Structure 1
Amino acid sequence: MPANKKYLTKSIHQRIAKITAAILGGYILTMSLHLAAATWMDKTTVMITSTFTGFIMWVALMIVAFLARNGWKVWGLYLLLSALCAAVIYLGQNLNPSI
């Protein structure tokens, strides 16, 4: 049973944006969130946990990228959240240097 044509993305640019946001953007956001958690909590525990939760979160972010109508908005959201995680990492390294 083929897919209904009205639900498929017609623009090649949107298709590329969704695919790259799903694969690259989802991975970047997943790893930056786990690194941000590692700066505030026990690094060993977070890194061991990230082997399981990282894959689950990456797949969930892939699904979210394909559910959205606009791939560029997904890229913007993923980059904004990654920048927020980078700020948390920066603050965590400066405020908690011993952890």
Structure 2
Amino acid sequence: MPANPKYLTTSKWQRFAKISAAILGGYLVSVSIHLSLAAWLDRATVLITGSYTIFLLWTALMILSFLAKNGWKLWGLYLIVILICGIAIYIGQSLYPLTS
């Protein structure tokens, strides 16, 4: 049974924004969240379990990105989350430097 056309995105730019946010943006958000957790928590544990949880979070973000009405607002939200995680990584590395 085909989808009802009134629910489909007609703009090619919106379609591009949603697909790129699903694939690239979801992956970048997943990795940045896990890297910020690794900066504050036990690095080895987060990196080992991250191989599984990154995939699960990425899949969830892929599904959620196609539920959004506007792909560009979604990209903006993803960039804000990545920026916040980047700040958390910087502060975490400053407070808890990696010692060898």
Q: TM-score, normalised on structure 2?
A: 0.96
Give the match for residue 91 of structure 2.
91
Q: Deviations over 1:24-65 (max 9, x none)?
A: 000000000000000011111001111111000001001111
Structure 2, unaligned runs of 5 or more: none
Query: Using the alignment, how far apart are the partners of 2:62 and 2:73 within structure 1?
Result: 14
Q: Percent identity?
A: 58
Give the match for residue 75 of structure 1.
75
Give the match for residue 37 of structure 1.
37
Question: CA RMSD for the aligned pairs?
Answer: 0.9
* Number of matched pairs: 99
SS of the residue 1:69 aligns to = coil
SS of the residue 1:67 aligns to = coil
SS of the residue 2:66 aligns to = helix
Structure 1, unaligned runs of 5 or more: none
Give the match for residue 9 of structure 2.
9
Give the match for residue 63 of structure 1.
63
Give the match for residue 20 of structure 1.
20
**Residue 86 of structure 1: CA displacement?**
0.1
Query: Using the alignment, how far apart are the partners of 1:43 and 1:84 within structure 2?
Result: 19
Amino acid of the residue matched to residue 33 of structure 2?
L
Query: Using the alignment, how far apart are the partners of 1:94 and 1:53 within structure 2?
Result: 25
Amino acid of the residue matched to residue 83 of structure 2?
A
**Residue 96 of structure 1: CA displacement?**
1.1
Amino acid of the residue matched to residue 55 of structure 1?
F
